[in-house]
Amino acid sequence: MAELRDKTAILTGASSGIGAALALEFSKKGARLTLAARRLDRLQEVARACAGVVLPLAADLTRDSDRKKIVQQTLDHWGRIDILVNNAGLGIYGDVLSASEEDWRGIFEVNLFALVFMTRAVLPHMRSQGSGIIVNMASIGGLIAHSDKVTPYVASKHAVIGFSRGLARDLAGTGIRVLAVCPHLTDTEFFTASPGAKEMAPVVEKFKSFMDRPEDVARGILEQLDSDRLIVFPTGKPARAYEKQKEI
């Protein structure tokens, strides 16, 4: 496991689910945290639950001004950026036709472009340090279509994996490592808060007993932060599902 004491990490999408669980785990290891999400009240709850020092920032990751604010305030407050966890994301229940153009553009704006441009915002600082870790939250859905009517989500997460592969090559030899994390279905409010949640409910119920807990996913991510692998499965389930899919 990577040494996190006194390391500075930015976590996006940190107000609930895997992001909140990651904040707690990073804090236990002594990291200094900047937590970013839209809901400041929820961020403050997470910050109070953390054992360490935390800077909570309300931000819309699709806005360039907010991304710059996160980076600048982190540097002003902590003096450096060691780790970026691009966790903010959303889901849409729909196929290629039932999902509107607005849905398609919206999910790529959050799941891919916010991640890309947040990465661009921190890279100059990591390059000047000669070190850093960029964690991009992909999904088992970025490797296999795990259900019907998740085409926009699957496409956006597949793009995250592609971006991570290219980024890792771009940064080879710089001291900056890239991880694309592919969790299995995880029991969070992601499924109830996403557009089309009512239509998704039967699918969620079907997989409920197989879902991972966010705290288990968070621990698995921390255990593999120093991994040399690009694609990281925080629990064993995604790897097994991926291998099974490849056999078909």
Instruction: Specify whether 93 is catalytic.
Output: no
Element (H, E) at 57: strand 54-58
- Round to whole Å and give the CA distance between 200 and 126: 40
Residue recorded with tokens 């939250």:
137
Catalytic site residue from 153, 190, 191, 233: 153
Tokens representing residue 135 in the block: 């964690």
What's the angle, vertex CA 227, arms to CA 248 and CA 56, rounded to 5? Answer: 105
231, 92, 116, 47 alpha-carbon torsion, rounded to 10°: -90
Contact between 84 and 118 under an 8 Å Cβ cutoff? The reply is yes
Catalytic residues: 153
